[in-house]
Chains A and B, each alone.
Chain A
Amino acid sequence: MAKVEETLKRIQSQKGVQGIIIANAEGIPIKTTLDNASTVQYAGLIHQLLMKARSTVRDIDPQNDLTFLRIRSKKNEIMIAPDKDYFLIVIQNPSE
């Protein structure tokens, strides 16, 4: 259990990492290193995007599934690793 905390702390301390959010399949955040408002906002919005992305991949090929999603913007990069029951979001500033 402490391993989870320790690992999150370690990743948070890597250069450029701004925040980490773990949410369940419905978009409810479980663990986060950001403040509550941002967490809820990110989790909700990304959950919608994730559903859309997943359905896109599945529609093109029903045997296929989404494994990783990376959104690169001017200011930062959001990396999303989805799973059946949970998903992990890491927000990073890659230029550092």
Chain B
Amino acid sequence: MSPSSQSVSTPSEAGSQESVNGGTVGRTLQWDTDPSVLQLLGDSDVGRKIHKLGASKITQVDILPKELVTYCKETQTPLAPHQSEEEEEDEEIPVPKAETETDLQDNEDNQEYTEAHPRELTEEEKQQITHSEDFLVFFDRTIRVMERALAEDSDIFFDYSGRDMEDRDGDTQAGCNLSFNRFFYDEHWSKHRVVTCLDWSPQFSELMVASYNANEDTPHEPDGVVLVWNMKFKKTTPEYIFHCQSSVMSVGFAQFHPNLVVGGTYSGQIVLWDNRSHRRTPVQRTPLSSAAHTHPVYCVNVVGTQNANNLISVSTDGKMCSWSLDMLSQPMESMELVYNKSKPVAVTGMAFPAGDVNNFVVGSEEGTVYAASRHGSKAGIGEMFEGHQGPVTGISCHNAVGPIDFSHLFTTSSFDWTVKLWTTKHNKPLYSFEDNADYVYDVMWSPVHPALFASVDGMGRLDLWNLHNDTEVPTASVTVEGSCALNRVRWATGGREVAVGDSEGRVWIYDVGEQLAAPHPEDWSRFARTLVEIRANQGDSEEEGAMEMAA
């Protein structure tokens, strides 16, 4: 231990001061990087690990980006033009067909598939559909509308400057008293049948019903046919077709039931059709028993008011029954029309005066006319009116309502070629119109003009008599083409049209000129004066007749 100059010899860069002091062996804190670093690092584990470097197994893990499933769905308020296609798809989807693959994104696929449907479901499905109730209802309704649309031939592109106006009737015949409007005829249903009765609808003035009797040429078709025609549209087919097993002799719209058509048949049954059901056969009918009618029913009439109405029917064995339209299984009351307690009256026509539900007049096969009443002490036949020499074919009570009441007047037509004017107060005719040369089949007063009535005869003539003008000859007369007999005449409710039915199944509609048909207020008083004149003449002619007989 000698301090020696040994310390001088130790080189150190950093300069360690302690090394100057002593040469203590082992504890050299020298800032010599290498050894101290080594020393320090030697204490940790990492250092040891780094020594070991080897290859390790690599497992590759690929995590794909998260896939977001998106689709476009548009909602209801369409602004884009493709909306209709999408809606179509939505409608087709609920169709539960096992084969269909509903691929939402593929339009063409779907359309192709729907076009493929008729090939697959052709005959069977179609047959099934056409037999279904639903389809028939749709068809009935739509065909009606379509026919009207087809018949309207109004050419909206018509150019008046280019060609001449097509001649439409109306202009040339404006001044005429009686001009032809149209006729109704159905090839299938009205051929070879006689028009037995006509009636206009009280609710819809353009609707008219006509009844036809049996067609001998076609025994397999139903005997009785009733067609409802429409004046408003140009289509030439009937609105409704009804039929029944026995010839229909009289028909009428039920006045207070807009959908019902009442018919009286040759067998004595009263039948009821309803235009709400699509059946063509009657929905209700009366029984064929002795409680009801067993003879042809030539007159049916609904009388009364909205709340208290009855269907009155009279048959040719003199039986008059009163029915309620709700129940046709038995009459509410029935009465035998007998005159003087002898044999019953064979009724061919019946008429109620305007506004009267109790008293009425009937015409018979023997040529006598009777006044009768339904209720009261004198129920049954009252007075007898004699004058006709042949069966009475038509009878009509004065209809026009005005300041003076003429409801005691009635006219009758008969096979004896005359039309007679009567009043219920006198049992001889007031006047006899003898212009016809054949059986006169029907007569009817105008519903609006007090002095106007129409008559039709077997030579195809339609006469309009205006008693103010002339009582010897009709004021207007026209012969329908085709040389057939006219069986029935009916004024329309407005008094401007006349419908006539002929023996060939055609119904002719004639327009009556305004100056003839439209009444004036003073017409009533004028008619009263005319009546007085007629009565005076009648008195004279009776005297003359007596004188002639004496001479």
Q: Interface on A for B, CB 8 Å cutoff?
A: 1, 4, 7, 10-11, 14, 16-17, 22, 24, 26-31, 40, 44, 48, 51-52, 55, 68, 70, 79, 81, 83, 85-86, 88, 90, 92, 94-95
Count of B interface residues, CB-CB < 8 Å: 32
Task: Assess the A26–B84 pair: CB atoms within 8 A.
Answer: no
Q: Interface on B for A, CB 8 Å cutoff?
A: 78, 84, 87-88, 91-92, 95, 111, 114-115, 117-118, 126, 129-131, 134-136, 138-139, 141-143, 145-147, 149-150, 153, 155, 237
Contact residues in B for A81 (Cβ distance below 8 Å):
142, 145-146
Among A11, A31, A68, A81, chain B packs the most CB atoms within 10 A around the CB of A81
Task: Assess the B153–A86 pair: CB atoms within 8 A.
Answer: no
Task: Tally A-B pairs: CB < 8 A.
Answer: 74
Q: List 5 A-B contacts (CB under 8 A).
A: A55-B87, A79-B149, A88-B139, A88-B146, A95-B155
Complex A-B, nearest 7 residue pairs according to Cβ-Cβ distance, in ascending order: A81-B142, A88-B142, A83-B138, A86-B138, A30-B126, A28-B117, A28-B118
Closest chain-A Cβ to B99's Cβ sits at a distance in Å of 15
Q: Nearest CB to that of B127 among chain A residues?
A: A1
Q: Is the interface of B mostly helix, strand, loop or mixed?
A: helix
Q: Is the interface of A mostly helix, strand, loop or mixed?
A: mixed
Task: Assess the A40–B115 pair: CB atoms within 8 A.
Answer: yes
Task: Assess the B142–A30 pair: CB atoms within 8 A.
Answer: no
Task: Assess the A10–B237 pair: CB atoms within 8 A.
Answer: yes
**Contacts A51-B84, A55-B84, A88-B143 given; does A30 touch B149 at CB 8 Å:** no
Task: Assess the B146–A79 pair: CB atoms within 8 A.
Answer: yes
Bound complex: CA A8 to CA B488 (Å): 33
Closest chain-B Cβ to A95's Cβ sits at a distance in Å of 8
Task: Assess the A85–B134 pair: CB atoms within 8 A.
Answer: yes
Closest chain-A Cβ to B60's Cβ sits at a distance in Å of 55
Q: Nearest CB to that of B134 among chain A residues?
A: A85
**Contacts A1-B130, A29-B118, A79-B150 given; does A68 touch B84 at CB 8 Å:** no
Task: Assess the A90–B150 pair: CB atoms within 8 A.
Answer: yes
Bound complex: CA A27 to CA B135 (Å): 15
- Beyond contacts A28-B117, A51-B88: 14 other A-B pairs, Cβ-Cβ < 8 A, are A11-B147, A16-B150, A26-B91, A30-B130, A40-B118, A44-B111, A55-B84, A68-B149, A70-B149, A79-B146, A86-B135, A86-B138, A92-B150, A94-B155
